[in-house]
Amino acid sequence: MSENISQNLTDEELEKSYWFLTHKDRILRMIAMTLGIICFFIWAIAIFLAVRIIFIPWQDYQGMLSDLKKQYSSLLIRPLVQDIQKDSVSFIQSEEGTYDLYVRVKNPNSLWLAYVDAVFSADESPLPPQKAFLLPEEEKYLMFPGLKRTSQPTTLGLEFQNISWNRVSKKEKEEMPQKLRFTVKDIKIAPIQQIEGGAISYTKLTFKILNETVYRFWDISVPLLVKTGDQIIAINTIPLTNFGFGETRAMESRWYADLSNATAVDILPTVDIFNPGLYQAPTVQELEERSPDVIKQEEELLRQQQEEQQQFEEPQ
């Protein structure tokens, strides 16, 4: 049988067959060596990456993951949100050589909360960044008080850096008004004279703010705008700490300038109600003073929050 097969082969085919048979062992060794080299490089890369991950500082590793997550989230979120709106930056000369910068900004998105670094600039020189937040559809003023300069700035600007968008559920959006129930009353602004009949030394603003929510806050911010007609003539921001529910707090602000021409004062309390770290546990006295309706309302809000944490919020 084998003789018949060999008789049907050409001389070229017989030579190739003979060459393969005589070099078979060498070919197998070369294939094995090639596969071994490939496996060696694969294992070397795997070991290098494993060692790098193990020995790289954990904080740096977390930072890299955080940066990658932000970049990925930004690519996904960007088509869904509208840019933060801002007016031109303005300034007030609060005293000789001192200027207060301010600008009106707005978050036009109804279901997105924004965290930003707000970087004011004067004459193209950036100023230290400020951490800021904008609740869904919130409009407010960002301020940079106490800018020291020998002459008034000619060009002012504002840039938002490190913008982070957090989606808010429809239920959370509906609850926002209940968590922002602050009432301002008894607003009085008057110039103060140190000596009767003398020059005005400063202008004092007094008012009261009532916390009508069912929450106690560690810290809220109270921006103040003093106006003559539509023109802003003085600004300030007052921090308000340990503000309990149902509490009325008397507050005061002073400007060392004559603001007797003021016709209105805008007082705009703002707090990041989506930051759980800003909520305090109620005091014993507050617990004792709570009505059954308030307790029931808080229990219902807590139950709803727990349910929302267990559910996946589908994009709108």
CATH of residue 216's domain is 2.60.40
Given this model, what pLDDT does residue 193 score? 74
Contact in structure between 106 and 84 (CB atoms under 8 Å)? yes
Residue 313 in any domain: the answer is no
Are 183 and 285 within one domain? Answer: yes
Q: What is the pLDDT of residues 107-155, one digit of tens each?
A: 999 999 999 999 999 999 999 999 999 999 999 999 999 999 888 899 9
Q: Name the domain boundary from 42, 76, 110.
A: 76
Question: Tokens 């084998």 correspond to what residue?
Answer: 2
> Could you count the other beta carbons within 10 Å of the beta carbon of residue 99?
20
Residue 214: C-alpha distances to residues 107, 229, 243, 310 (Å): 26, 35, 11, 24
Do residues 108 and 59 both lie within one domain? no
pLDDT tier for residue 249 given thresholds of 50, 70 and 90: very high
pLDDT of 299 above 70? no
Considering the domain architecture, whether residues 195 and 287 belong to the same structural domain is answered as yes
Please check whether residues 155 and 206 belong to one and the same domain. no
The backbone region for 80, taken as left when phi is positive above 0, alpha when psi lies in -120 to 50, beta otherwise, is: alpha
Grade residue 301 by pLDDT with cuts at 50, 70 and 90. Answer: low
Q: CA separation (Å) from 95 to 49, 73, 121?
A: 60, 45, 20
Same domain, 208 and 164: no
The SS3 of residue 110 is coil
CB 226 within 8 A of CB 207: no
Question: Is the domain of 155 the same as that of 180?
Answer: no
Q: Quote the pLDDT of residue 204.
A: 93
Q: Give the CATH number of the domain where residue 96 resides.
A: 2.60.40.10
Confidence (pLDDT) at 1: 47
For residues 187 and 8, what is the distance between their CA atoms, to the nearest angstrom?
114
Q: How many domains does the chain have?
A: 3
The reply to whether 137 and 252 lie within a common domain is: no
Query: Does 104 map to a domain?
Result: yes
For 11, 163, 282, the CA distances from 306, given in Å and listed in that order, are 85, 28, 19
Tell me which residue of 123, 129, 110 sits closest to 174, measured CA to CA.
Answer: 110
> Is residue 115 located within the same domain as residue 45?
no
- Residue 303 has which token pair? 């139950």
Looking at 34, 52, 76, the residue that finishes a domain is: 76
**Mean pLDDT for all residues in the chain:** 83
Q: Which domain holds residue 89?
A: 83-168
Do residues 163 and 195 make contact, with C-beta atoms less than 8 angstroms apart? Answer: no
Residues in the chain: 316
User: What is the chain's alpha carbon radius of gyration, rounded to the nearest angstrom?
Assistant: 35
Residue 189 lies in a domain: yes
The pLDDT score that the predictor gives to residue 219 is 93
Which helix (H) or strand (E) is 104 found in, with range? strand 98-106
